[in-house]
A = this chain, B = another copy of it.
Amino acid sequence: MMHEPQTLAPATETKMTARDVRVFYGDKQAIKGVSIDVDMDNVTAFIGPSGCGKSTFLRTLNRMNDTVASARVEGAITLDGEDIYAPSMDVVQLRARVGMVFQKPNPFPKSIYENIAYGPRIHGLAAGKADLDVIVEKSLRRAGLWDEVKDRLHDSGTALSGGQQQRLCIGRAIAVEPEVILMDEPCSALDPIATAKIEELIHELRGRYAIVIVTHNMQQAARVSQRTAFFHLGELVEYGVTSDIFTNPRQERTKDYITGRYG
C-alpha cells in the first residue's frame, strides 16, 4: 500500500487531493489506500484493467458513491483544501462544483435546451429567461455543440447521435460552472469520429477546469492527458507524467499492462 501521495513537481495549482482513500462495497474493499493530487492545468487520466477501481475512485471525488447503499469511503479528500466528506460540506453544492460525465451518454429525455438549463435552474444560477438563454448558448458553445443544434434547441436531447449526446452531457455539466469535471470512459460508447471530437473538446476545456478522465484505451490516455494514473486491483500502482508512464514505466505491472500482458 502506498500512503505517500504520488505527486508531481508542484508546477501547477492543486485542485483536489486524496489521502489514503479506501472504499468498501459491503465487506469487499474496492480501493486500497489511494493518495493522489489532481491539478488544475492538466488533464489527468486513470487507466487500468477492468474492475481495478477506476470508476469507484472517480466517484469518490464528487461523492457519487453516496448513492450506492453498500459503499463506504474512508480517508480524506479535499477540494481547494476543504474536506469534502466533512459534515459541513454540502453534497449538493459539491456536485455542482465537481461535475461528472458518464460512460454512456445520459441526456435527460427532455429538450436540448432543458437538458442544459436543468442545472442552472435547480441551483438558481439564472436570474431570468434571458439569463438562462445566455447560459445555454455559452455552455453549448463550450461543448462544441452550438452550431449543430442551435436551430433545434427544443428537440429532444435523446434524438441526437451518440457523440452529440455525450457533448450535450458535457455541456450540461459545464452549465453550472463547475471547477472540476470527472469523465468516466466518455468515449467508450462512441465511434471513432465522435471520439475524436470529444478528445478535441477535452483539449479545449483544459486549463479552464480540472479534468479527470477514466479510459480503457491507452492510446486515448496518451493522446488527451498530461498525467496518467495506473490502477490495479484497487491500488494506485503508478502516477506520473503521461509520456513517462507510456515510454518508461517504473513498475513492472504498469509495463505488463501497457504491453498487453493482461486487461
Chain A contact residues, CB within 8 Å of chain B: 49-51, 188, 191-192, 195-196, 217-220, 222, 259-263
Contact = CB atoms under 8 A, between A and B. Distances in A.
A67 to B, nearest CB: 25
Tell me whether chain A's interface is mostly helix, strand or loop, or mixed.
Answer: loop
A192 B262 contact: yes
5 contacts: A49-B191, A49-B192, A195-B262, A217-B260, A219-B261
Number of copies: 2
A50 B51 CA distance: 19
A68 B72 CA distance: 42
A51 B188 CA distance: 11
A196 B261 CA distance: 9
Contact of A262 (B51, B196, B260): B196
Nearest to A220: B260
A184 to B, nearest CB: 17
A263 B217 contact: yes
Contacts of A219: 259-261
A191 B195 CA distance: 27
A217 B261 CA distance: 10
A196 B260 CA distance: 12
